[in-house]
Amino acid sequence: MAMEQFLEQASKLTGGDSSSATWCQLAAPIPTPPHEAHQASGKRRLTQRSKPLAYVVTGCATILFSPLLLLAALDGMTPQQIKERKRKKKTVRARKAEFPQMGLDRAFDGNWNAAAGQFLLTWYSQAPDPERLIVPMNDKITLLAAPSRWWYRGRPKRLRIVAEFPTDLARCRIPEFADDDIRRFWLQFSDGSWISLKAERGEQTQRFFTACRAQLTQ
């Protein structure tokens, strides 16, 4: 229900169809920029603020219960299913090994003077939390954020637009092998520069990938 509320609010703010939106964040921390570039940006913050309490509790619960959930899942699987699971994990590892040569293991292409580098310098001044709701539409790409409080996550009513690009200035490029296990992609600008983003797991991200791939064929 919460995601539906975010999508509904995003549609109101963007004035378009947000049904293909998904949550994402930078694929890697922002590297330290040259002094001149940081100075020119107004010395904006380059790191996220501390996670709200809800994230901390969720993270601890995940660490504690993940092994138990895995054992429970394996217990109900046939030998063939276990074999397929191992094959899939091997494929995912092989794909992830390609990240460095594709730039998917770093935040951006490295050029601070290009559009991507300049945009990256504003990421955490736009909103101090790392998460962005990215909305692909026929004529634009919109990023929204819902700033959190210390004790709870951001709520739909707090959602606001933090960046917007016409599609002739920026588009999302999705790797051919991207799926629910490999969810990284590029936001590429018209000058060829790009930032690398990581989407959250789930059906909504698959809708996002499908919409972005269709957009590139138009």
| pLDDT recorded at residue 80 | 78
Torsion of the alpha carbons at 69, 70, 71 and 75, rounded to the nearest 10: 100
Per-residue pLDDT of 15-57, as tens digits, reads 999 999 999 999 999 999 999 999 998 888 899 887 655 555 5
Average per-residue pLDDT for the chain: 86
Nearest to 125 by CA among 194, 46, 36: 46
Per-residue pLDDT of 150-160, as tens digits, reads 555 678 999 99
| pLDDT recorded at residue 149 | 64
| pLDDT recorded at residue 74 | 53
Counting every residue, how long is the chain?
218
Spell out the domains of the chain, with CATH numbers in brackets.
Answer: 2-49+99-216 (2.30.29)
Comparing 77-86, 120-129, 167-176, which segment has the lowest mean pLDDT?
77-86
The Cα-based distances of 133 to 14, 19, 21, 41, 201 in angstroms read 12, 11, 6, 24, 13
| Pairing label, strands 22-26, 132-136 | antiparallel
Per-residue pLDDT of 186-218, as tens digits, reads 999 999 999 999 999 999 999 999 999 998 776
| pLDDT recorded at residue 67 | 60
